[in-house]
Amino acid sequence: GAPGPGRASTPEAPPAPPKAEPPAAAAAAVQSPGAGPETPAPRKDVEDAPSAKKAMAEAGVSRDAVIGTGRDGRVMKEDVARAATAPAAASPAPAPAQAPRAPSSAEDAAREERVKMTRLRATIARRLKDAQNTAAMLTTYNEVDMKGIMDLRNTYKDQFEKKHKVKLGFMSFFVKACCHALKEVPEVNAEIDGGDVVYKNFVHMGVAVGTPNGLVVPVVRDADQKSFARIEKEIAELGLRARDGKLTMAEMQGGTFTISNGGVYGSLMSSPILNPPQSGILGMHKIQDRPVVVDGQIVIRPMMYLALSYDHRIVDGKGAVTFLVRVKEALEDPRRLLMDL
Kindly report which listed range (13-17, 159-163, 308-312) carries the lowest average pLDDT score. Answer: 13-17
d(CA 221, CA 12): 23
Percent of the chain scoring above 90 in pLDDT = 45
Query: What's the domain range around 212?
Result: 137-338
Output the pLDDT for position 91.
Answer: 46
Instruction: Report the amino acid identity of residue 317.
Output: G
Of 151, 312, 333, 340, which is the active-site residue? 312
For 22, 55, 74, 76, 221, the CA distances from 51, given in Å and listed in that order, are 16, 6, 12, 7, 27
**CA 220 from centroid of its chain's CA atoms:** 13
Q: At 97, is the pLDDT very low, low, confident or very high (cuts 50, 70, 90)?
A: low
204 noted as active-site residue: no
User: DSSP H helical segments within the chain, as ranges?
Assistant: 50-59, 77-85, 106-109, 119-134, 147-164, 171-184, 228-243, 317-332, 335-338
316 noted as active-site residue: yes
Output the pLDDT for position 86.
Answer: 59
CATH number of the domain that residue 326 is part of = 3.30.559.10
169 lies in a domain?
A: yes
Closest CA to 135 of 4, 47, 290: 4
Q: Which residues pair with 292 in a beta bridge?
A: 299
Output the pLDDT for position 28.
Answer: 32
Q: At 274, is the pLDDT very low, low, confident or very high (cuts 50, 70, 90)?
A: very high
Strands 288-294 and 297-311: antiparallel
Q: Would you say residue 5 has pLDDT above 60?
A: no
pLDDT in tens, 280-299: 999 999 999 999 999 999 99
Output the pLDDT for position 242.
Answer: 87
Q: At 19, is the pLDDT very low, low, confident or very high (cuts 50, 70, 90)?
A: very low
Kindly report which listed range (16-25, 205-214, 296-305) carries the lowest average pLDDT score. Answer: 16-25
Output the pLDDT for position 312.
Answer: 95
Kindly report which listed range (1-10, 108-117, 310-319) carries the lowest average pLDDT score. Answer: 1-10
Overall number of domains in the chain:
1
Phi, psi of 315 (to 5 degrees): -110, 120
Q: Would you say residue 22 has pLDDT above 50?
A: no
Of 64, 130, 316, 333, which is the active-site residue? 316
230 lies in a domain?
A: yes
Kindly report which listed range (81-95, 129-143, 301-315) carries the lowest average pLDDT score. Answer: 81-95
Mean of per-residue pLDDT scores for the chain: 81
Mean pLDDT for 70-97 is: 64
Mean pLDDT for 316-330 is: 96
**CA 110 from centroid of its chain's CA atoms:** 38
Determine whether 203 is exposed, middle or buried from the number of CB atoms within 10 Å of its CB (0-12, 13-18, 19+).
buried
The CB density around residue 64, as the number of other CB atoms within 10 Å, is 14
Q: Would you say residue 166 has pLDDT above 50?
A: yes
Q: Would you say residue 148 has pLDDT above 90?
A: yes
Q: Would you say residue 23 has pLDDT above 70?
A: no
Work out the angle at residue 72's Cα, subtended by the Cα atoms of residues 70 and 76, and round it to the nearest 5 degrees: 25
Q: Give the contacts of 105 (CB within 8 A, at least 6 positions apart).
A: none
62 lies in a domain?
A: no
Q: Tell me if 124 sits within 8 A of 7, measured CB to CB.
A: yes
84 lies in a domain?
A: no
State whether the Cα torsion 191-193-195-197 is positive or negative.
negative
Q: Which residue has the higher pLDDT, 229 or 37?
A: 229
Output the pLDDT for position 184.
Answer: 93
Mean pLDDT for 51-70 is: 75
pTM: 0.68
Q: Would you say residue 231 has pLDDT above 90?
A: yes
Q: Would you say residue 311 has pLDDT above 80?
A: yes
Peptide bond before residue 17 is cis, with ω within 30 degrees of 0: no
8 lies in a domain?
A: no
Mean pLDDT for 148-172 is: 91
12 lies in a domain?
A: no
287 lies in a domain?
A: yes
Q: Would you say residue 90 has pLDDT above 90?
A: no
Which range scores top for mean pLDDT: 162-166, 250-254, 258-262, 306-310? 306-310
152 lies in a domain?
A: yes
Output the pLDDT for position 337.
Answer: 80
Q: Which residue has the higher pLDDT, 240 or 256?
A: 256
Output the pLDDT for position 304.
Answer: 96
